[in-house]
Amino acid sequence: MLYWLHSSFNINILGYISIRAGIAFFLALFFTLFLLPIFIKWAKRTSSVQPINEWAPQRHKEKVSTPTMGGIVFIGATLLASALTVKFSNAYVIGGLLTLVLFSLIGFQDDYAKIRKNENLAGLKARTKLALQILSALIISAFLCFYAGFNSDLYVPFIKTPIVTMGAFAVILWVLVIISTSNAVNLTDGLDGLATVPSIIALTTFGIIIYITGHAKLSAYLLMPNLDVGEVVIIASALMGALTAFLWFNCHPAEVFMGDSGSLTIGAFLGYLAIISKSEILLLLIGSIFVIETLSVILQVGSFKLRKKRVFLMAPIHHHFEMKKWAENKIIVRFWIISILSNLVALISLKIR
């Protein structure tokens, strides 16, 4: 709507991506702040609360009455704020919105099944969930490749030119990036605010990279590819605003959890941002906390199957520190610090080419 006002009435200020991104941030922030208390009351009244895994540390039993599925609220706020501010003729905007919708639907189905059966492990079957993720990621990747005409060059940090043109194989990589990031954020979402702040930080970093990539002069100065993706910054900014408002209720002790409807969607969108910013490899640094959490699970499962021994007291790794009697806030804040530092390194790397 704001871009339509710009083009219809020649309101120049609304033509700037930075201005509309700022407006989108605050719109999503206010929408979430307004809607979440209403949602929390409804969730408590209808017993739409978080089923706790029986294997989780004992302190998690105290969270049994905490409402879940908060992701539906902040993703909805993001979509609404984006719809009011973006330029819909940009194909990458459509791809970003499509990512949010498809993965939030998968997450919602999983959350709803858990709530209905009142069992943490009673959501979508693992194979069904993965199949839906693959299908959604394929739709998004095919959209980028065949509709948006997105190039398949692969860049790595510190090198100013692409190392390879992947062709049709790019779709395979993009599907893997979206699915793996989606599940990585989902694994990280185990403590109050643990996944929320690193997600905001990663969105900020990708927002900066995408803005540079979409800006002819800045991308030329930093020897980065110049692509027509700048408009997607507005969606990323809207999600940052929505997550900031969500953190108001999600910080320890949490009044609401995001559920799979939030974590799966955030992860998929981060994967999408990594793809369109040509930062698939840099994603490992930007999403360092999500990578660490995922690796801890892989190591734990692999070690137990091969050696019948555990590497950690419990995986994902944040549970390991819980078992070592670390205070929940200490774990959360230290993980936030790691996320901030790794993202600063990622941004510094943009200049070293």
Of the candidate ranges 10-19, 70-79, 89-98, 124-133, the one whose mean pLDDT is the lowest: 10-19
Cα 130 to the center of its chain, rounded Å: 17
Q: How confident is the model at residue 280 (pLDDT cuts 50, 70, 90)?
A: very high
Distances (CA, A) of 48 to 41, 63, 105, 332: 10, 13, 17, 25
Statement: residue 9 has pLDDT above 70: no
Q: How far is CA 185 from the centre of its chain?
A: 7
C-alpha–C-alpha distance, residues 97 and 84, integer Å = 13
3-state secondary structure the chain: CHHHHHHHHCCHHHHCHHHHHHHHHHHHHHHHHHHHHHHHHHHHHCCCECCCCCCCCHHHHHHCCCECCCHHHHHHHHHHHHHHHCCCCCHHHHHHHHHHHHHHHHHHHHHHHHHHHCCCCCCCCHHHHHHHHHHHHHHHHHHHHHHCCCCCEECCCCCCCCCEECCCHHHHHHHHHHHHHHHHHHHHCCCCCCCHHHHHHHHHHHHHHHHHHCCHHHHHHCCCCCCCCCCHHHHHHHHHHHHHHHHHHHCCCCCCCCHHHHHHHHHHHHHHHHHHCCCCCCHHHHCHHHHHHHHHHHHHHHHHHHHCCCCCCCCCHHHHHHHCCCCHHHHHHHHHHHHHHHHHHHHHHCCCC
When mean pLDDT is compared across 51-55, 101-105, 258-262, 267-271, the lowest value belongs to 51-55
pLDDT (tens digit, 9 = 90+) per residue, 306-352? 888 898 889 899 989 988 989 999 999 999 999 999 999 999 999 88
Q: Work out the average pLDDT over 270-288.
A: 96
Whether the predicted pLDDT of 291 surpasses 90: yes
Q: pLDDT category, 57, cuts 50, 70, 90?
A: low
User: Is the pLDDT reported for residue 47 higher than 90?
Assistant: no
The more confident residue out of 3 and 325 is 325
pLDDT of residue 158: 85
Residue 272 clears pLDDT 90, i.e. is over it: yes
Lowest mean pLDDT among 40-44, 98-102, 184-188: 40-44
Mean pLDDT of 171-199: 95
pLDDT number for residue 60 = 54
Q: What is the pLDDT of residue 56?
A: 55
Domain parsing of the chain, residue ranges: 18-284
In this prediction, residue 214 has a pLDDT band, given cuts at 50, 70 and 90, of very high
pLDDT of residue 111: 87
Which has more confidence, 63 or 126? 126
Q: What pLDDT, on a 0 to 100 scale, did the predictor assign at position 115?
A: 80
What's the pLDDT band for 51 if we cut at 50, 70, 90? low
Mean pLDDT along residues 47-67: 64
How confident is the model over 90-118, as a mean pLDDT?
Answer: 91
pLDDT digits (tens, 9 = 90+) for 128-148: 999 999 999 999 999 999 888
